[in-house]
Chains A and B, each alone.
Chain A
Amino acid sequence: MPTTSDEVLIARIAKGDRLAMEELYGRYRVPVYRFVLRMVRNPTTAEDLNSDVFLDVWRQAGTFEGRSAVSTWIFSIARFKALNVLQRRPMEELDDEKADAIEDQADDPEIALAKKDKAAVLRACLLKLSAEHREIVNLVYYQHKSVEDVAGIVGIPEATVKTRMFYARKKLSELLTEQGIERGWP
């Protein structure tokens, strides 16, 4: 028997069906958690955000109009909440994040060790991307969202989605260069 569609679950949740809520939560709790964690970079905050996201799903299921996929709707709620947290963060944390995202004059121990391993350097550089770039890279590479889905989640035109992803990759290339890995364009 095929599984119940997300749309049907949302219709049931709109009527207060807890079992439907449990099923939808079971489907999305891990991907949404990993998405918000990539953005806010704090497991406790990510966990709190995760339950807030699904609380909104419970509250707003009746307003879901089906103009996008349910997963697109859920991720757009998650993104909005993660951005709110990032905006509320104290300046010193933001400064730390900017510093991380810019450049290390000297190799930290992790990078120094990883230089022998391109995969590890690449991972370290992915972690250093800005929130805007981390977001799109995670949506495309890990959440497997199409150009159209990302446009719906982030709220930008599809052409901008493509160029933003390109510039995220370009930034990644620059970070790799700083670590001694020259891969060329982008």
Chain B
Amino acid sequence: MTTVKQSEPSEIELLLPWYAAGTLDVRESQQVERALANDPELAARYEWVRAELEQETHVSEAAGEPSARDVTTLFAKIDALPAQKSRSSIDLGARIAEFLAALSPRTLAWSAMAVALAIVLQAGILAGIVLKERNAGGYETASAPSNVSGEGSYVLLRFQPQASAADVANFLETNKLSIVGGPSTGGLYRVRIAPTKLAKADLTRIVNTLQDNKVVGFIAVTE
């Protein structure tokens, strides 16, 4: 590393620490790269910047980590706070935002298609019901027999991290599954595998079959 003299730092020299840390945008990085290639003195000074970064990292890492008690301390402090917040861990808006944020653009495109298809199907079904009622000339009460919301058979399912959006969409469609909740901590989704309550033997058989699929990382029956 050579000794060099200069009166004022150039804009490029000011950027060297961020270039070393990899936090410049593409345009600025290219400017610095060109300058380093054409200016041996600047390149020599950059070696010192890299050394500083390396040793600051060394110093910081040598500081270790907070002790295990810190988590306990934090949540004890949180528990000691007045109950100013809802303690419910389920907020529909946040969950929906999280679910959408977790999807890749490709998955979102699949989801949009699925939603569009569902709307078309729903419209068709409603039209069918209306026509049927007209043809029958009768009426049904609001409590007419139907699949009561909440009935059905469900599993908790985590997808393999490497599964593509297309794989997941295909898996759901092929097996006639629908995601009804999640992801929770650990990336678990609540998935409906049948609209009715299946017998335990049937449920186990389906779960075993699904478990063999390459997109499934974890699957377990849930209520």
A contact set with B: CB distance below 8 Å:
1-5, 7-8, 11-12, 14-19, 21-23, 25, 29-30, 33-34, 37-38, 43, 46-47, 50-52, 54-55, 58-59, 118-119, 122-123, 126-127, 137-138, 140-142, 144-147, 149, 162-163, 165-166, 169, 172, 182-186
Complex Cα spacing A18 to B51, Å: 41
Q: Can you report 23 residue pairs joining A to B where beta carbons are below 8 Å apart?
A: A1-B159, A2-B104, A11-B98, A14-B85, A17-B94, A18-B75, A19-B89, A29-B65, A29-B70, A33-B65, A34-B63, A43-B64, A55-B78, A58-B78, A119-B51, A123-B58, A137-B56, A141-B17, A144-B22, A169-B52, A183-B48, A184-B3, A186-B45
Which of B4-12, B31-39, B109-117, B193-201 is near enough to bind chain A?
A: B4-12
Complex Cα spacing A78 to B127, Å: 59
Interface residue B55 (Cβ < 8 Å from any Cβ of A): yes
Interface residue B176 (Cβ < 8 Å from any Cβ of A): no
Number of A-B contacts (CB under 8 A): 170
Known: A16-B87, A123-B55, A185-B6. 12 other contacts (CB 8 A): A1-B158, A12-B94, A15-B86, A15-B91, A29-B71, A33-B63, A47-B66, A50-B66, A118-B51, A119-B55, A137-B56, A140-B21
- How many B residues have CB within 8 A of the partner chain? 66
Classify the interface of chain A: helix, strand, loop or mixed: helix
Complex Cα spacing A140 to B18, Å: 7
